Amino acid sequence: MKYTFLKDNNLPAFLGDDFEISYSSMYANVLEFSKRVPKERAHVAIYAENSPEWVCALYGAWLKHSTVVPVDATLPVAETAFILSDSETDFLFASKANLENAKAAVEKSGRAVEICVIEEVEKPLMNATLPNGWKIECEAEDLAFIVYTSGTTSNPKGVMLTFDNLQANIEAVSDEGYFHEKMRTLAMLPFQHILPLVGTVVGVLYVGGAIVFPKSLAPADIAGVLAKRKATMVISVPRFYELIHANIMEKVNKSIAVKSLFLLSKFAGSVKFARMLFASIHKRFGGKVSAWVCGGAALNREVNADLSALGFKICEGYGMTEAAPIIAFPRIGNIKIGSCGQPLPSNEVRIVDGEITVRGRSITKGYYRRPEENEASFNNGWLYTGDLGYFDDDGFLFITGRRKEIIVLPNGKKLNPIELEEQIKEKCPQLEEVGVLMYDDILQAVCRISDKMYAELGKEGAEDFVRENAILPYNRVNASYRRIIRFTVTTKEFPRTRIGKLKRFQLASFVESVKTELPIEQVFAPEPESKIYKDLKEFLAMQVSVTVLPDAHMEMDLGLDSLGKVALHGFIKENYNIDMQESDFEKYSSLRKVANFIEEEQKKKTEEKAVADSPKPRKPKAVAWSEILKNCTPPIIPKTYFFHAITLFAARIFFKFWYDIEIEGRENIKDGEPMIVAPNHQSLCDGFFFAKMFPRKKLYKFYFFAKMRAMMSSKFMKFYVRHSNIIVVDVKSNIKESVQKLAEILRKKNYVVMFPEGTRTRDGNVAEFKPMFAILAKEMGVRVVPMVISGAFEGLKARTSLPARGTKIKIKLLPPVSVEEGESYADFSNRVREIVIAEKAKIEGRELSSD
């Protein structure tokens, strides 16, 4: 069977800011490029930047029934040489900018490869005309591409893709209306990747559409060519959409009116309605883009939801080079945020032990000259993707993680962590182990050294050693996207299987555990002998749960939170009459630095007074929270406005029709008794659940404590907070005032709702409880009502904006508990947390784990 990949067409094929090339002229250029290919069925590499010439070189090779090997134009000589050798390249099209590297790569490859500079190929007139009936036909089973992609070894591997693999993809998206003769697609992503190869080049020209080339990837050039050439489709990676989101939302949040329209559009949930509301924004992009395609990595769900509310229809598919590239994609008008859509019609997709497996027309025939890897990746025709996922009841595929070890960066680039680890270890052989992972959206490394080295160097010395001898030398010789941004040093052994394989999927939790391990005392960094330092250390030891070292970062290493900083501030003010603000702790980040700062300030004061007037030594005073909470000017408590009632009414209606909520234990909130409610934090909706739990009059007595500094940058949110029962804490400045407001609320026999975890759970488990609620309970003499929320995490996970309808949620208010005599803030906080964990496990019908 033959497929026609380029037909006779009088429409434009290439469009740029200052050029327009028809299909007829393109074919005339293709003929010239074809003449340069020395033989039929050659392996032809293209080592150049995106351009019309790149495309002409591709079709010129296909006209000679040759296989094309796309090579990243930014690859260094060594990697390029490997690809040329491994793919058995016969001929190379290179750009003028890459010519010297191309020559060096050919020499290093050891192959006799002829090089042709694409800019030097003779160009027929741009208005060239040819007889009707010309076309490029290809046999279905012939090899179209060998595309190199990262593998499980240190070297890349070539994926063999046939013309039938490409045809399966093109037919599917064309049948669903994505590809059509009038389409104009922006050429943004480098053509050596399979997604732009099919989505921007081959598929577009197959249906008779046009490729739009920007002058550069600068935002102004992209916006300019989109507006001028009226592109209908943009294919890019998450980073591009994150930049669009950040730029637009910054302007949206500056205006109450625009913010209100945004919230209205989000509530309406209609992309067409959103495009009408925000027509001016879309006009900046030409106003004709009907499909914004995101590939290479998962797009942040919150970004996706916000862009949808702005009228951007983001189409997130799922695929890989081995599938040419589509495994699943969303159908027009049937998109679920967070899902990558439904499988390609010509393929079968199944989940085996949580892993996505696929077979069908679009799947590669294998890796070029890799029999062992073919055997490892394929089983009875099924490709084992290494990705974890599930299907919902409607047949939509959701990706939950990766079983493979490849790290996918936000810009779509893929990294083999084994390769990076080996490079770091090579720079610093003293390291026992190295693990590289993507965590908190940045590339990180965890490095293990021996107990002996850690004992000799101390914590800071060990970090300095690893930084200077491993991380910095590695970063200096690697591209920016491969550089390690943060690292952790430990003496703990990495999690491994019984046969010694690294459990890479556990590295993130391992890093978290390392942060809380007790650091070894420093040998060559002795503690100061000053009384000020010793008093500060004794006080600080009561605020944190790890060993206090003089040079440990108080926030990053010791875990000192904002409340602890307030307490330390009060201690310093009370004992040394020095008013250190919370922001000062960023400058004086270790206990040694704080002690030195206090000593310098006292020295200045001493110089201004006579020695006889200097203060006599005295025993340091502890911070009395009772003084902070009780002996202060009564703060102004927010009034309950009608706007608050509207919010509660809307929440009540929403939950009635959207969630299946079961509530138990309302009687534990006693009328006329001030109480603190301490729930676990599972979702964005947790605070609004109270609208479903109590009548309106009683709800007016509930006040919510929240960290909302980022949201307070919006005028709309400032208005919302001022007219609602919300006490907002700014961890940089007003935490003491906020705590005093909570105390005043309790004095007036109201209820305070505090989420002790401080932030939503990432994995559904109950995190550590911060002691602020315990301090209030103990000093104000009020009882705490533990509260369990179960099921909301599954209904509305962190970083998502659209809850899953019909999710079953169980909310249970437990009997109130009081602080026992002699019980510390931390002990009471832990006791309440254990109560919540135990009840949550009981509700979910599982046994409580030992930890």
pLDDT in tens, 451-497: 889 999 988 889 889 988 998 888 877 776 788 888 999 999 888 75
Distance of alpha carbon 74 from alpha carbon 50, whole angstroms: 12
End-to-end CA distance of the chain: 62
Q: Which residues on neighbouring strands pair with residue 294, listed in sequence order?
A: 236, 316
Distance of alpha carbon 573 from alpha carbon 581, whole angstroms: 10
| pLDDT at residue 554, as a whole number | 72
| pLDDT at residue 537, as a whole number | 87
* 3-state percent breakdown (helix, strand, coil) of the chain, nearest 5: 40, 20, 40
DSSP secondary structure of 650-681: HHHHHHHHH-EEEEE-GGGS-TTS-EEEEE--
Beta-sheet pairing, 726-728 with 702-706:
parallel
Distance of alpha carbon 19 from alpha carbon 17, whole angstroms: 6
Distance of alpha carbon 14 from alpha carbon 52, whole angstroms: 7
The pair of structure tokens assigned to 110 is 């050891």
Tell me if 602 sits within 8 A of 576, measured CB to CB. Answer: yes
| pLDDT at residue 635, as a whole number | 59
Q: Side chain identity at 599, as an amino acid letter? A: E
| pLDDT at residue 522, as a whole number | 36
Distance of alpha carbon 587 from alpha carbon 584, whole angstroms: 5
Tens-place pLDDT, residues 45-83: 999 999 999 999 999 999 999 999 999 998 889 999 999
| pLDDT at residue 841, as a whole number | 87
| pLDDT at residue 558, as a whole number | 65
Could you tell me which of 230, 173, 217, 476 has the C-alpha nearest to residue 345? 173
- Count of CB atoms situated within 10 Å of the CB of 375: 10
What structural domains and CATH numbers belong to the chain?
1-7+22-139 (3.40.50.980), 416-515 (3.30.300.30), 531-623 (1.10.1200.10), 642-843 (3.40.1130.10)
Distance of alpha carbon 334 from alpha carbon 283, whole angstroms: 25
**Helix count and strand count (H, E) for the chain:** 31, 36
Name the burial class of residue 239, with classes exposed (0-12), middle (13-18) and buried (19+) by CB atoms within 10 angstroms of its CB: middle
* b/e sequence 486-507, b meaning 16+ C-beta within 10 Å: ebbbbbeebbeeeeeebebeeb
Tell me the residue length of the chain: 851
Catalogue the E-assigned strands of 419-502: 433-439, 442-448, 486-490
| pLDDT at residue 74, as a whole number | 87
Q: Determine the angle formed by the axes of helices 301-309 and 238-252, rounding to 10 degrees.
A: 50
Residue with tokens 């084994």: 418
Q: Which residues contact 562 (CB under 8 A, 6 or more apart)?
A: 582, 729, 731, 735
The DSSP H or E segment spanning 397 is strand 397-402
Could you tell me which of 169, 178, 129, 131 has the C-alpha nearest to residue 3? 169
Q: Which residues on neighbouring strands pair with residue 439, listed in sequence order?
A: 442
Could you tell me which of 322, 303, 95, 313 has the C-alpha nearest to residue 195? 322
| pLDDT at residue 115, as a whole number | 96
Distance of alpha carbon 751 from alpha carbon 75, whole angstroms: 62
The DSSP H or E segment spanning 202 is none
Q: Which backbone phi and psi does 486 adopt, to 5 degrees?
A: -140, 145
Distance of alpha carbon 707 from alpha carbon 726, whole angstroms: 10
Distance of alpha carbon 604 from alpha carbon 21, whole angstroms: 76
Tell me if 213 sits within 8 A of 188, measured CB to CB. Answer: no
Distance of alpha carbon 430 from alpha carbon 466, whole angstroms: 9
Q: Side chain identity at 610, as an amino acid letter? A: A
DSSP secondary structure of 121-148: S----TT----TT--EEEETTSEEEEEE
- Count of CB atoms situated within 10 Å of the CB of 110: 10
| pLDDT at residue 70, as a whole number | 97
Tens-place pLDDT, residues 124-137: 655 556 655 677 88
Q: 733 vs 536, 553, 580, 588, CA distance in Å?
A: 22, 20, 12, 16
Q: Which residues in the chain show pLDDT less than 50?
A: 151-154, 498-500, 517-524, 610-612, 614, 709-713, 731-732, 798-802, 847-851
DSSP 469: I
Distance of alpha carbon 172 from alpha carbon 332, whole angstroms: 12
With H, G, I as helix, E, B as strand and everything else as coil, classify residue 334: strand
Q: 281 vs 102, 246, 248, 294, 346, CA distance in Å?
A: 43, 13, 8, 19, 38
Q: Determine the angle formed by the axes of helices 77-86 and 99-109, rounding to 10 degrees.
A: 50
